Amino acid sequence: MILRGGLQVLLVIQMFVLGPRLILSVREYHAKLIADSDVHTGMTSLVFQERVHVSTSSTV
């Protein structure tokens, strides 16, 4: 029972250590692929609009 609890603790620690490392290595690999390719990748821009309150009359 003690070994099983220790194993569960190690699995949680492994998840928090290896998960971010995997994400970072995938990002690094993708950046290297983009840098080595001759193809221009299109970047989409995000447009943020301000919310403007428009008053409408409730009378018909």
pLDDT tens profile 11-55? 998 888 888 888 889 999 998 888 887 655 555 556 666 776 667
Mean pLDDT in residue range 1-9: 92
pLDDT of residue 46: 62
Mean pLDDT on 1-14? 91
Helix H, strand E, coil C: the string for 11-57 is HHHHHHHHHHHHHHHHHHHHHHHHHHCCCCCCCCCCCCCCCCCCCCC
- State both tokens at 37: 């390719």
Per-residue confidence (pLDDT) for residue 14, from 0 to 100? 86
Higher pLDDT, 49 or 9: 9
